[in-house]
Amino acid sequence: MSTWIALFRGINVGGRNILPMKELAKILEAIGCTHVRTYIQSGNVILRESGSKAPQLAKSIEQSVLNSYGFEPKVQLLTVKELEKAVRANPYADAESDPKSLHVLFLAEKPKSADLQSLSDLKSENESYSLRGNLFYLHAPDGIGRSRLAAKAEKLLGVDATGRNWRTVSKLLELARQNA
């Protein structure tokens, strides 16, 4: 059995793609996942599953949600080791004390042609960012909602992404370690 962290993109945000976490857990259990634990309403799930590789499991989850709810969310799966690596690689350790200002975008793959110049041009004086493989770290002390960089990062990186603030990343790692 492998422990996975499933990051759903775009569910229960702005009144769109509503999927109650209890219902999501039932969908996951119906496709063979066990020890399913959700964290907050924005699509964070810790689960155990045997036999599947990440791309097959992600596709199975996406298809099951589509069949049940009529929309197909993007799902990114991480292993506990991958999440631990993301936490260790954080270049803004000083910002961990204000976890709402620190964000990680988990990228579907390492960007091949990221527009780093445009990212730098959008960055406010107070912001910092770092691209490390398939992880994009953003420290936005003035708030993510005000950040032009945050709003355009995915497009300029050129790959699908889903972001989480540091509080969520830390909690998911704690839950995943308990589930392993």
Tell me: do 105 and 138 sit in the same domain.
yes
- The pLDDT assigned to 50 comes to 87
Distance CA 156, CA 24 (A): 31
Number of structural domains in the chain: 2
Other Cβ atoms within 10 Å of 155 Cβ, number? 11
Residue ending a domain, choose from 59, 79, 99: 79
Residue ending a domain, choose from 79, 104, 130: 79
Pairing of strands 2-9, 74-79: antiparallel
Mean pLDDT of 125-150: 96
Residue with tokens 């759903």: 8
Domain extent, residue 167, equals 83-177
Pairing of strands 135-139, 2-9: unpaired
pLDDT tens figures, 84-122: 999 999 999 999 999 999 999 999 999 999 999 999 999
> Which SS3 state, helix, strand or coil, does residue 139 take?
strand
For the chain, report the end-to-end CA distance as a whole number of angstroms.
Answer: 9
Residue with tokens 């690596």: 85
Token pair recorded at residue 22: 């209890």
Q: What is the CATH number of the domain that holds 100?
A: 3.30.70
Compute the residue count for the chain.
180
Q: What is the CATH number of the domain that holds 38?
A: 3.30.70.1280
Mean pLDDT of 146-173: 97
Tell me: do 37 and 105 sit in the same domain.
no
